[in-house]
Amino acid sequence: MMELEGEKPNYGEPRKYDPTFKGPIYNRGCTDIVCCIFFIICILGYVAVGILAWSQGDPRKVIYPTDSRGQFCGQAGTPLETKPLLFYFNIMKCASPMVLLEFQCPTTQMCVEKCPDKFMTLLKAYANKEDFKYYKNFCKEGLEGLTVTQILSSGLCPAMLTPSKPFTRRCFPALDQKKGGEITVGNNSKFDDGEGNIRDAKDLVAGVKNATVVIEARQVVMKIFEDYTQSWYWILIGLVIAMLISLLFIVLLRFLAGIMVWVMIVMVILVIGYGIFHCSMEYVSLKSEAGSNVTLKDLGFQTDFSVYLHIRQTWLAFIIILAIVEVVIILLLIFLRNRILIAIALIKEASRAIGYVMSALFYPLFTFALLSIVIAYWAVTAVFLSTSNQPIYKVFNDTACDHSRKICEPANFSTSSMKAECPDSKCLFAFYGGETVYHKYLIGLQFYNVFLFFWCANFVTALGQMTLAGAFASYYWALVKPDDMPAFPIFSSLGRSLRYHTGSLAFGSLILSIIQIIRVLLEYIDHKLQGTQNKCTKFLLCCLKCCFWCLEKFIKFINRNAYIMVAIYGKNFCTSAKDAFFLLMRNMIRVAVLDKVTDFLLFLGKLLIVGLVGIFAFFFFSGRVKAFENTAPNLHYYWVPILTVVVGSYLIAHGFFSVYAMCVDTLFLCFCEDLERNDGSLARPYYMSASLHDILLGNKAVEETEEPTQSSTHQPDDQDVQLKQ
């Protein structure tokens, strides 16, 4: 066994022997009370923001398209219930650059039952009774007794109708492209615009493109939502399989830790190797397929991700990435083989601890439930806040007008001075906004919602870490196991954490949340300045993002060990963080050798579970296995359920393996404390087991120890217990 002892830098005073210390202190007081009170006040404010958002918001604005009067098309229980589609009077006006600035076409929009399916101009339809009856379906009311000129000047009807198809509940021209590249609409390359002009069908392209620029994302979201409705039960089955595999793996790890770790390592290498083989086969099979040699740069961004799977460069990228991962893992296994043996022994010791605290395996379910509540509350509040604006109407016109794009009131616009000065102008719905105090500070409320989401999510995670740390610490510091342990270690630790250390949990999670919100702001600034920033600004933003990413990782590491010290000693957060940091610095070599290697092995376990479930999901949802062709659901994007299953599987595996990771970290910190407090003599025996002593100190350390000490490295017998007491 390799020697792990090294020269210890002077990081604070080591712990001194205390005969009264017997593990987690039960007689403790409340810590960080100020932060606890502040956290409670912020939570009450968060609830108030939610109530305010729910009273002002209207999610229908996200679901239904809105006509020029601000009414929702297709909304149940309204006169427009039977008119679910939005029709544009003149789609070519959507080619205006103002569409990209104001997200609204400067043309009248109305709700209709179905889109027009044939060419027709108002002038020709007016002369035919049947045609005009059909034309009225796309006009406003009040046409009786009016001439064509009066109808057009009043803006009651569109000048023409073009064959259209519904797209995200909106009527867009049914454009097509012939083999020669000629654009057609309704099989015609030209059309009458209703004003006596014969125009090319390609003139409609710009209008359609700008009109869809705002709703393309919504269209993708709707398709993804439809895919979820078709595949949710299969996704659930995939996640259940991931949970069962994770649970089976953890149970086997409890009894066969050494064998399971090596099986896991071999299987990870084999799974990645199979991935490389499959990607290579796909790469070769696309060699003869037309258009497969297009580069990803030339293809650009496509909402249908399946398009990328028909490009050879995509599979080549997969091959390179998987090959790099495979080589890195193999090299790490070769160079860290001795340390991996030690880490496996440490995992065995953690398995023994979990054997005494089996309820810890199910605690991640409680954490997952709390996180689900936090995420759901944040998401619902965000939707209601974003839809709590009032409809804003603006003046739109074809000719020059001083009142263009000014706010107007549609109820009295026809008699207003704006209409008198600009006869051809219209007062149309522009967007949702508001001028009240609530609307002015709406962006601040959204920021508060995001910040409290980070704080609450980090608090729930911290609560889980402290609860598990307290339970495993009670195992380590018990002389006689399980007699000296609490009857229910998890519930006992959870009660202590909530009763005495809510303030410490809130303090640590607050620091982490501030760093995370700064990272979000940096990403937002980077997105806003994209395209206009110079190289110096770009370099500065990259440096800041990198620094805060590193800082976040460091704070997570400090918080995790601080919560362990709080669970053991019951001190405040700052004192516990300082003690944990100095203790780790005094044992820096052991931290690097054991703790991180163990984390690497547990990460391989998560990678294995995700790989197995991900491969199964890929072959099932993509329909590449004949046995599943008729069973798999028909989807727009089969990558949607695959990604959902992969991400969900990782979260499930992470939940189970986080118990092991927390157990290893707690045992390691307790071991370092044990070495400083005790010397292994009969009067001051180590609390660690003989196996743990051999793992972390090595055989050489045992040989150098005196004879009484050598016998005391084992778990103390009854005489040792009496001396200790």
Per-residue pLDDT tens for 558-616?
A: 999 999 999 988 889 999 999 888 888 887 766 766 667 777 788 888 888 888 888 88
For residues 449-459, average pLDDT: 93
- Rounded to an integer, what distance in angstroms lies between the CA atom of residue 426 and that of residue 440? 27
Mapping DSSP onto H, E and C, the string for 451-496 reads HHHHHHHHHHHHHHHHHHHHHHHHHHCCCCCCCCCCCCHHHHHHHH
For residues 624-632, average pLDDT: 69
Work out the number of other CB atoms within 10 angstroms of the CB of residue 62: 12
Work out the number of other CB atoms within 10 angstroms of the CB of residue 182: 12
- Please return the burial class of 678, using the count of CB atoms within 10 Å of its CB with bins 0-12, 13-18 and 19+: buried
Q: Say what angle helices 596-621 and 639-677 make with each other, to 10 degrees.
A: 170
Token reading at 6: 């090294």
Residue 479, CA distances (Å) to 23, 24, 79, 681, 691 in order? 10, 13, 76, 15, 15
Higher pLDDT, 425 or 131: 131
**In the predicted structure, residue 557 carries a pLDDT above the cut 80:** yes
**In the predicted structure, residue 470 carries a pLDDT above the cut 50:** yes
Confidence of residue 194 (pLDDT cuts 50, 70, 90): very low
**Where would I find the H helices in 178-256?**
203-212, 216-255
Residue 210, CA distances (Å) to 88, 161, 319 in order? 13, 19, 38
Whole-number pLDDT of residue 41:
95
For residues 300-315, average pLDDT: 70
- Rounded to an integer, what distance in angstroms lies between the CA atom of residue 107 and that of residue 428? 8
**In the predicted structure, residue 181 carries a pLDDT above the cut 90:** no
Q: Which of 515, 505, 630 is nearest to 573 (CA)?
A: 505
For residues 627-638, average pLDDT: 72
Whole-number pLDDT of residue 102:
41
**In the predicted structure, residue 8 carries a pLDDT above the cut 50:** no
Whole-number pLDDT of residue 61:
66
Q: Say what angle helices 502-528 and 573-586 make with each other, to 10 degrees.
A: 80
Whole-number pLDDT of residue 331:
87
DSSP state at residue 628: G
**In the predicted structure, residue 384 carries a pLDDT above the cut 70:** yes
Whole-number pLDDT of residue 169:
76
Residue 113, CA distances (Å) to 62, 76, 134, 151, 329 in order? 20, 14, 12, 22, 60
Q: Quick: pLDDT tens for 509-533.
A: 999 999 999 998 888 888 777 666 6
Q: Is the dihedral of CA 109, 115, 119, 121 positive or negative?
A: negative
Query: Which residue's structure tokens are 């055989």?
Result: 699
Asked whether the bond before 59 is cis by omega within 30 degrees of 0, the reply is no
For residues 361-380, average pLDDT: 87
Whole-number pLDDT of residue 468:
92
Residue 407, classed as helix, strand or coil, is strand
Token reading at 673: 């404390």
- Rounded to an integer, what distance in angstroms lies between the CA atom of residue 255 and that of residue 352? 9
Q: Tell me the domain boundaries of the chain.
A: 33-52+219-383+440-529+554-682, 85-196, 394-433
Higher pLDDT, 3 or 174: 174
- What is the H or E stretch that residue 570 is in? none
**In the predicted structure, residue 20 carries a pLDDT above the cut 80:** no
36-50, 254-268, 408-422, 464-478: which has the highest mean pLDDT? 36-50
Higher pLDDT, 208 or 417: 417
Token reading at 126: 């007016």
Is the CB of residue 135 less than 8 Å from the CB of residue 30?
no
Whole-number pLDDT of residue 724:
42
- Rounded to an integer, what distance in angstroms lies between the CA atom of residue 94 and that of residue 211? 6
- Rounded to an integer, what distance in angstroms lies between the CA atom of residue 614 and that of residue 644? 10
Q: Quick: pLDDT tens for 426-452.
A: 777 666 666 666 677 778 888 899 999
- The pair phi, psi for residue 27, each rounded to 5°, is -90, 85
Higher pLDDT, 493 or 709: 493
Is the CB of residue 469 less than 8 Å from the CB of residue 560?
no
Sheet holding 85-88, edge to edge: 109-112, 85-88, 170-173, 164-167
Q: Which pTM value belongs to this model?
A: 0.69
Residue 565, CA distances (Å) to 1, 421, 524 in order? 29, 75, 36
Q: Which of 163, 158, 167 is nearest to 175 (CA)?
A: 163
Work out the number of other CB atoms within 10 angstroms of the CB of residue 685: 25
Is the CB of residue 191 less than 8 Å from the CB of residue 160?
yes
Higher pLDDT, 14 or 715: 14
- Rounded to an integer, what distance in angstroms lies between the CA atom of residue 485 and that of residue 359? 14
- Please return the burial class of 586, using the count of CB atoms within 10 Å of its CB with bins 0-12, 13-18 and 19+: buried
Work out the number of other CB atoms within 10 angstroms of the CB of residue 220: 16
**For 155, left (φ over 0), alpha (ψ -120 to 50), or beta?**
left
Confidence of residue 546 (pLDDT cuts 50, 70, 90): very high
Query: Which residue's structure tokens are 């995992």?
Result: 347
Is the CB of residue 207 less than 8 Å from the CB of residue 109?
no
Q: Quick: pLDDT tens for 89-135.
A: 877 766 544 443 344 566 778 888 888 888 888 878 888 888 888 88
Whole-number pLDDT of residue 508:
94
- Rounded to an integer, what distance in angstroms lies between the CA atom of residue 180 and that of residue 178? 5
**In the predicted structure, residue 714 carries a pLDDT above the cut 50:** no
Is the CB of residue 17 less than 8 Å from the CB of residue 684?
yes
Residues with Cβ within 8 Å of residue 27, at least 6 apart in sequence: none
Q: Of 100-109, 212-221, 399-408, where does mean pLDDT reach its minimum?
A: 212-221
Q: What percent of the chain has pLDDT over 90?
A: 13
Q: Quick: pLDDT tens for 684-698.
A: 777 777 766 776 665
**In the predicted structure, residue 725 carries a pLDDT above the cut 90:** no
- Rounded to an integer, what distance in angstroms lies between the CA atom of residue 91 and that of residue 346? 69
- What is the H or E stretch that residue 161 is in? strand 160-161
Q: Which of 560, 347, 558 is nearest to 469 (CA)?
A: 560
Residue 289, classed as helix, strand or coil, is coil
The per-residue pLDDT of the chain, averaged, comes to 76
Whole-number pLDDT of residue 57:
77
Q: Which of 646, 109, 647, 53 is nearest to 386 (CA)?
A: 53
**In the predicted structure, residue 274 carries a pLDDT above the cut 80:** yes
- Please return the burial class of 331, using the count of CB atoms within 10 Å of its CB with bins 0-12, 13-18 and 19+: exposed
Q: Quick: pLDDT tens for 496-512.
A: 889 999 999 999 999 99
Whole-number pLDDT of residue 149:
82
Is the CB of residue 403 less than 8 Å from the CB of residue 395?
yes
Whole-number pLDDT of residue 644:
85
For residues 69-87, average pLDDT: 80
Q: Of 58-72, 88-102, 395-409, 458-472, where does mean pLDDT reach its minimum?
A: 88-102
- Please return the burial class of 255, using the count of CB atoms within 10 Å of its CB with bins 0-12, 13-18 and 19+: exposed
- Rounded to an integer, what distance in angstroms lies between the CA atom of residue 160 and that of residue 135? 9
* DSSP assignment of 425-453: -EEEEEEEE--SHHHHTHHHHHHHHHHHH
